[in-house]
Amino acid sequence: MKTMTCRQLGGPCDLEHRGETADDVIIAQDQHLKDAEQAGDASHQEARDAMKGRWKRPKKSLDWYLGAKKAFADLPDDETSAE
C-alpha cells in the first residue's frame, strides 16, 4: 500500500489517497475532484478541469499517467502497524 496526495497528483490540497496500485490512487483522486466540484470547492476546479481535459489530448494524458505511475512506483510502501 502506498500513499499519494491530491497535490502530488496535480490538485491543490494534501488529502491522502492510499492504494495498492497507481491506478487505485488515480481513481481516488478523480473521485475526490468530482466530489469537490459537486460541493462547489473552487480551489479544486482547475485540477478537475485538467483531469477532464486530459482525455481530449491522448499524448498529454499518457505523459501525465506515466508520470503518476512512476511517482507512485518510486514511493516507499506505507508502514503498517501490527498492533
Helical pair 45-54 and 22-38, crossing angle rounded to 10 deg: 130
Residue with cell 482547475: 46
Look up the pTM and report it.
0.85
- pLDDT tens-digit readout, 2-32: 999 999 999 999 999 999 999 999 999 999 9
Enumerate the domain spans of the chain.
2-74
